[in-house]
Structure 1
Amino acid sequence: MAGLSALSFLGLPQFANAQDMKSKLKGNINHSVCRWCYRGKSLEELCEVAVDIGIKSIDLLDPEEWPVVQKYGLTCAMSNCVPLSLTDGFNNPDLHAQLLKDYEALIPKAADAGLERIICFSGNRHGLSDEEGLENCAVGLEPVVKLAQKYGITICMELLNSKVNHPDYQCDTTPWGAALCEKLGSEHFKLLYDIYHMQIMEGDIIATIRKYHQYIGHYHTGGVPGRNEIEDSQELYYPAIMEAIVATGFKGYVAQEFIPTRDNVFDSLRKSIAICDV
């Protein structure tokens, strides 16, 4: 193995430079990247690198940041909700009126900006059963989703792990999220399937994607364990996962959401796109 990089040993593509990489992207995956993973870099810097690589979107931006990415010909495939809270969400009826007010303000702005998806969260259980949380989320989300449909927006609830990163979070399994999708019965409500989080909670990633793909509107990546680079330092084989996503007919976005550990954080990003471009 002397002289071989980890990527070449795994049979993963290598590119001499960003322009060469961009020209060789296959087009089967719409690539995005999450802004928060690059807090040490300006949004402008991230946009410049994204354009060089062939990434089409920057995920998880606030409304004042949308014009920055659009200036570079990019979109925001998954917008933040404003204000942002993972712990206080739609499973709390006391928050429904305020959440509706917030989304009533945000949804038209997103539509005017040409965006298509906005994130949402279940919130923490705080003693609620799965059944109670499901019913509360459905009641709170129903008017929001109806408004989203009117504007051509899809609301996506993120699946997060409650074992390591987000203790007590309610939407922590795919079957629970799928049940909420069924209860709402709208193509304008989907799941944000975070591969990192669901590997921790459930494993069986490819079979789960095949079974529940009709409920998934967006994907996030991340290495397990640690949420770092997605290459051979972690337990998931992302090329096979991406092949499974493509095989479902998915036409949305896959966003890189790992925390780079290298000094050159954008080198890690380039490699992750090469790995996922199947």
Structure 2
Amino acid sequence: MMRISANLGFLFREHGLPDAIRAAKATGFDAVECHWPYEEDPAAIRAALAETGLAMLGLNTIRGHREGEVGLSALPGREADARAAIDQAIGYAQEIGCRNVHVMAGITDDAAAFDTFVGNLAHAARRAEEAGVDLLIEPLNRRDTPGYVLAHTDLAMTLIEAVGSDRLRIMFDCYHMQIMQGDLVSTIRALLPHIGHIQFAAVPDRTEPDAGEVDYGWLLPAIRDLGYEGWFGAEYRPERGDFAWLETFKARGI
């Protein structure tokens, strides 16, 4: 059976994060992940995780300090801000027992973006090694996030090779990658040793994953059959307000 995580950046938003964790457990999710939890008391999050027995799989570095920013780590001239955000995220992850930190790249067309991102990821890798957490980078589709530096898995692999750290892996979001690349099974097969987490949502609307052009009832077991042993993160914007898709997946043994 698949292990499915609730992304609390989108789900159970009517609750504060500790109660969202409890709601995810009551709904039948196997783990949780979040976006930007920094306003929450880490002790309250730890308590909710301990109470429910759920793992916190990931959190993001901050978007930035300026309107429209979507990460800092590939922005030339913003290295101090980027590294402060990385240190904040890794420190917070340690406090709550979170396994992964997603290092957000940002939006820029500066030719120095790649080298900047590599330098900041190298800093992140050193800090992650000290802290005992892992790092994720996530290609985002440019329909939703125009100008985002990292939009393709080829670039993600080039970054991983340039940094050269076992702590750094890809967060493969099937929603983003169906839009940007398609051919999901073949792509995941080729990248599998470098994938740290997989997410999913309906395409093209990013709603409940039992609709749209991707059949997750078939795809998630197919990914598991490739040898993927991690969680699948449900990162979608709820439209119906129910979790019938999760009940169906579990009833089918997915």
Normalising by structure 2, we get a TM-score of 0.85
Give distance in 2, aligned partners of 1:112 and 1:276.
Answer: 37
2:246 to 254, 260, 270: 270
Give 2:110's aligned residue.
Answer: 128
Unaligned runs of 5+ residues in structure 2 are: none
Structure 1 residue 55 corresponds to structure 2 residue 29:
yes
Query: What letter is aligned with 2:79?
Result: H
Q: 1:182 Cα deviation (Å)?
A: 1.2
Question: Are residues 111 and 88 of structure 1, via their aligned partners in 2, closer, same or farther at CA, if it must alter by over 3 Å?
Answer: closer
Give 1:181's aligned residue.
Answer: 160
The equivalences for 1:7-26 within 5 A come to: 26=1
Identity %: 23
Query: What letter is aligned with 1:32?
Result: S
Question: Are residues 87 and 114 of structure 1, via their aligned partners in 2, closer, same or farther at CA, if it must alter by over 3 Å?
Answer: closer
Query: What letter is aligned with 2:102?
Result: I
The equivalences for 1:31-180 within 5 A come to: 31-38=4-11, 40-42=13-15, 43=17, 46-61=20-35, 62-63=37-38, 64=40, 66-67=45-46, 69-70=48-49, 71-81=51-61, 83-85=62-64, 87-125=70-108, 127-129=109-111, 132-162=112-142, 164-180=143-159
CA contact 2:128–2:135 (8 Å) conserved in 1:
yes
- Report the secondary structure of 1:218's partner residue: strand
Give distance in 1, aligned partners of 2:165 and 2:249.
Answer: 31
Structure 1 residue 211 corresponds to structure 2 residue 190:
yes
Give 1:18's aligned residue.
Answer: none
Give distance in 1, aligned partners of 2:3 and 2:136.
Answer: 17
- State the number of aligned residues: 243
Give distance in 1, aligned partners of 2:175 and 2:132.
Answer: 29
Give distance in 1, aligned partners of 2:118 and 2:253.
Answer: 36
- Report the secondary structure of 1:220's partner residue: strand
Q: 1:40 Cα deviation (Å)?
A: 4.7
Q: 1:45 Cα deviation (Å)?
A: 5.3
Give distance in 1, aligned partners of 2:226 and 2:72.
Answer: 30
Q: 1:226 Cα deviation (Å)?
A: 0.7
Give 1:23's aligned residue.
Answer: none
Q: 1:272 Cα deviation (Å)?
A: 6.8
Q: Is the deviation greater in 69-78 or in 208-217? A: 69-78
Query: What letter is aligned with 1:52?
Result: A
- Over the aligned positions, Cα root-mean-square deviation in angstroms equals 2.4
Give 1:8's aligned residue.
Answer: none
Give distance in 2, aligned partners of 1:102 and 1:91.
Answer: 12
Query: What letter is aligned with 1:157?
Result: I
For residues 154-212 of structure 1, the C-alpha deviation after alignment (integer angstroms, 9 at most, x for no partner) is 111121100x2101111111111111111111121111111101111111111110011
Give 1:247's aligned residue.
Answer: 225
Give distance in 2, aligned partners of 1:252 and 1:97.
Answer: 33
Q: Is the deviation greater in 174-183 or in 34-43? A: 34-43
Query: What letter is aligned with 2:105?
Result: S
Q: 1:91 Cα deviation (Å)?
A: 1.3
Q: 1:39 Cα deviation (Å)?
A: 5.4
Structure ID, larger Rg: 1
CA contact 1:256–1:272 (8 Å) conserved in 2:
no
Normalising by structure 1, we get a TM-score of 0.78
